[in-house]
Amino acid sequence: MELLDRVLEFYSIKNSSVVKELLLRFMKLVLEKNKHFNLTAIENEDEFVIKHIADSLSLIRFLQNSDGKLVRAVDIGSGFGVPGIPVKIAKPSISLVLNDSNKKKCNFMNEAKDHLGLSGIEVVCQRAEELGKEVEFRESFDFAFARAVDKLNVLCEYALPLLKIGGAFLAQKGFECEDELESAKNAIAMLGGEIEKIEKFTLPESDEKRSIIVIRKLRQTPIEFPRKTKQIIKKPLS
């Protein structure tokens, strides 16, 4: 697809021919499985390239590894593997955990990673707030990202307990995110984070506008967070 070629060129993706082949295989697998159970409302290939692949690849520029160590990332509420799988395809050196609580979607993500021959990727079928209480995962990630999962104050309670001090939460949001960000400021501070920056942009080859909010983990998250599911839902941090 020429559209995908232009998207990969826009993001300066290395080994673009290999990346393109894997992304096309992933898209075809998603759209084929989508006929049998609901993975995405998007069925058009061009729309898939923009709204799923290009949107996912907007994270790549943040996933830099300046000290030569292995970068570990977690994709919260990954669904059918977006943004995590496109990011992993474009940046295979990262170690990635795909997290979702829906068993059917987790089964699909496992099928997809095997179908694509991806290594250094683990699917964890569990609620994110439970993940943040486990020694194996708590404060062990350099990056966390989430796309279209929940409001920012709720997402931060999922994400920040999973991050190392110095790690970053990359929250993918719509273009107008200021009100949501303002409502989450106290929660971010309570959880040990700080708003570093907001990047606003238009996805390549489209007029789709997006924001990425970068929240840096500065302090250890208090042990009482994340709270239990019912508490998070009934009384989000404010």
Domain boundaries, the chain: 2-234
Provide the CATH topology of domain 2-234.
Rossmann fold (3.40.50)
Short-list 90, 118, 123, 111, CA closest to 33: 111
Tens of pLDDT, residue by residue, the chain (238 residues): 899 999 999 999 999 999 999 999 999 999 999 999 899 999 999 999 999 999 999 999 998 765 567 899 999 999 999 999 999 999 999 999 999 999 999 999 999 999 999 999 999 999 999 999 999 999 999 999 999 778 999 999 999 999 999 999 999 999 999 999 999 999 999 999 999 999 999 999 999 999 999 999 999 999 999 999 899 989 999 8
Six-digit token pair at 44?
Answer: 């058009």
Tokens of 6: 């232009």
- pLDDT of amino acid 1: 83
For 92, counting Cβ atoms within 10 Å of its Cβ (0-12 exposed, 13-18 middle, 19+ buried), the class is: middle
Which secondary-structure segment (H or E) carries 4? helix 2-10
Check residue 222 and give its pLDDT. 97
Cβ 55 vs Cβ 210: under 8 Å: yes
Predicted pLDDT at 65: 61
Q: Which long-range contacts (CB under 8 A, 24 or more apart) does 195-200 make?
A: 196/168, 200/175
Place of tokens 């232009």: 6
The span from the CA of 125 to the CA of 131, in Å, is: 9
Residue 43 — φ and ψ, nearest 5°?
-120, -15
Residue 153, beta-bridge partner list = none
The pLDDT assigned to 170 comes to 98
Predicted local confidence at residue 68, as pLDDT: 60
Task: Kindly provide the b/e burial profile for residues 176-214, where b requires at least 16 CB atoms within 10 angstroms of the residue's own CB.
Answer: ebeebbeebeebbebbbbeeeeeeeeebbbbebebbbbb
In this prediction the pTM is 0.96
Are 150 and 125 in contact by the 8 Å Cβ rule? The answer is no
Complete edge-to-edge strand list for the sheet that includes strand 163-174: 121-125, 95-100, 72-76, 141-147, 163-174, 209-217, 193-202
